[in-house]
Amino acid sequence: MSSKNLIGWLLILGPLTVFIFGALLDGILIGEGATPTDAVTEMTAKQGLKHWLTVLGSLGFVFAFIGTVLLCDSMQGDNKPGRVFARIGMIIFTALVALAMAASMTDLASLAAIQEDVTESTSAAMWVEHAVTIHLVGQTLWSGLFFFWGIGFIMVGIALIMQKRLHIVVDWIFVVFGALFVILIVTPLDLAQDIGFVVFGIMVLNTIAAGVFQLRANES
């Protein structure tokens, strides 16, 4: 498989895996987890299922970010317009790969805390409290990830527009909705959170579309 085809498939399969296992099935089969305590309670009831949904969703995030890193790398070169923006995007998404690995594994760490054996010096309530704390740390990591994800999309979108890569609509969606993503993350309103989920869905679909255009470009 060529590197260009690999980029395309990573951009398609990564977001699809995140949406199916990390968002859709997790929300339906495990629960939404309105609070960290609720989230830990819900995962405690279905530990085995939560474990595999977390693993698969984590792989999806990492694959999607790696695909974006490789896309940015392919846009660099001395004579290519927008190469500086592509380089900035590559740096951001390289960092996001590591952050996604850490953030997505916090649920597994919470599960591990729940499954710890109770001894004379510990109690089940104490381990649940530890699991809630770990979950809070995970939420903090996700907030930072989504903020810089939006910034990264802006950089990638600008580079794509300047190089006339993929499709003009896809390229501009990266810029416009990436900026909207950043604004919503720093807006402390419940409505902003609700709109944020819609924007997240659009960005997932746009990343998949980018992968499709990447594959089609290979065929031409």
Continuous H helices in the chain: 3-17, 25, 36-45, 47-74, 83-104, 106-114, 124-163, 168-185, 190-219
DSSP 164-202: T-S-HHHHHHHHHHHHHHHHHHT---HHHHHHHHHHHHH
Sign of the CA dihedral with 84 first, then 184, 9, and 61 last: positive
Task: Please answer whether residues 87 and 159 qualify as being in contact, where contact means their C-beta atoms are separated by less than 8 angstroms.
Answer: no
pLDDT of residue 46: 81
pLDDT of residue 217: 79
Query: What b-and-e string marks burial along 3-26, b requiring 16 or more CB atoms within 10 Å of the CB?
Result: eeeebbebbbbbbbbbbebbbebb
Can you tell me the distance from the alpha carbon of 196 to that of 3, in angstroms, rounded to the nearest whole number? 32
pLDDT of residue 28: 83
Can you tell me the distance from the alpha carbon of 110 to that of 43, in angstroms, rounded to the nearest whole number? 9
Task: Please answer whether residues 89 and 159 qualify as being in contact, where contact means their C-beta atoms are separated by less than 8 angstroms.
Answer: yes
Expressed in angstroms, the distance from the first to the final Cα of the chain is: 16
Closest-CA residue to 20 (of 171, 180, 205): 205
Per-residue pLDDT tens listing for the chain (220 residues): 688 889 999 999 999 998 888 878 888 888 777 777 887 888 878 888 888 888 898 899 899 999 999 999 988 877 888 889 999 999 999 999 888 888 888 888 888 877 765 554 566 677 778 888 888 888 888 878 888 988 999 999 999 999 988 889 999 999 998 898 888 877 766 655 667 678 878 888 999 999 999 988 755 4
Beta-carbon contacts of residue 132 (< 8 Å; ≥ 6 apart) = 36, 37, 40, 110
Q: Is 105 helix (H, G, I), strand (E, B) or coil?
A: coil
Determine the angle formed by the axes of helices 190-219 and 168-185, rounding to 10 degrees. Answer: 160
pLDDT of residue 117: 59
Can you tell me the distance from the alpha carbon of 110 to that of 37, in angstroms, rounded to the nearest whole number? 11
Domain ranges of the chain: 3-219
Q: Is 51 helix (H, G, I), strand (E, B) or coil?
A: helix
Task: Tell me which amino acid residue 145 is.
Answer: L
Q: Is 214 helix (H, G, I), strand (E, B) or coil?
A: helix
- pTM for the model stands at 0.83
